[in-house]
Structure 1
Amino acid sequence: MFSLDVVRTIENEKLTLEAPWLLKHFHVFFQAFFNSLPFLLSSLATTEVLQPYVEKQISLSCLLIVSLAVGYLLVRKQYLPTVISETTQAQFLQAAMPTLKEYGFDITKNNGKFLFASCTANRIHISDSFYAVYAQNAILVFCICELPFPFSVIKKRAVLASIKSRCKSG
């Protein structure tokens, strides 16, 4: 995917990728559209049900805008870190490696600054990304899932909860 800008990620405490501005924003918008598909479909169904009561064009456009906004906010939330503090880098790696393998992530890069893993299990064009940036006092963890709405949130929470529990128990 894109390369990680570690320094700016630590400064901003937001995932910062090194890529052209337009390409990054197009990727986030496409991901938001894909993530909001369930909301878009429910908007279309709601518009058909409300047709006799409300003017169709106004309700459809408002519901579609709200659906895309919700999808965009869900995607942008993935770019905010989960902070794991009071854990050393070795403890984190000991907890994260088995979890990532369990969820089908392949570790692409692991150095003293960050960890990057991607998951394309059973999917060709959709990949999930996992970033961990090692700051001085904490570890910033990002799990970007490109699946549609309920699955993206479920996978992200499952991966992060498993890593947190293994860090605390280890």
Structure 2
Amino acid sequence: MRVLMGVIKDRHGTYYARKTVPATPRGLRAAVALELDNGKAVQSHLKKSLGTKDVRDANVRAKPVLAEFDRIIAKAKARLAATTGPVVKRTNLNDTEIKRVAEWVYATALKEDEALRFSGRLELRRSYKTESFASNSLGSSRARHNEDQPIVGGHGRWYEQASSYADLC
């Protein structure tokens, strides 16, 4: 005869009912440990001996034990839902937070500007644009015929950054 799902046999032949506590929602395993009040921080499995070595008796005894495990997990989910409040989105910032956000934006802009100036791409791109507009002819020696090609060899990331900033100019 086959055993039910959740019924396992140990090395001595005794049957146990075992159920894994789901990892989601977050904190459920800790809530199950609180529900059992067993002193553990988290409870990843629920396990109870069925007290028999006979498979038929194990299947009969396992049903109420597995139902009890389901009740324990349901109580833990209810406890978790009661203690976890909804996430409230903030609609305003205080002066210190506004100052920190502004400093972060400014520092990021300086870092990107320094990267562009260090690579030299931005100035080169500007000179090509001004010459091509000034000469107004495609025959100019410095005019670019294929915009998909980088101006000179180098790292592709530098070219992408420079082209995005040159479009702003």
Give TM-score, length-normalised by structure 1. 0.29
Which structure features the higher share of strand residues? 1
Structure 2-normalised TM-score? 0.29
Higher relative contact order structure (alpha carbons within 8 Å, sequence separation ≥ 6): 1
User: Greater Rg, structure 1 or structure 2?
Assistant: 2
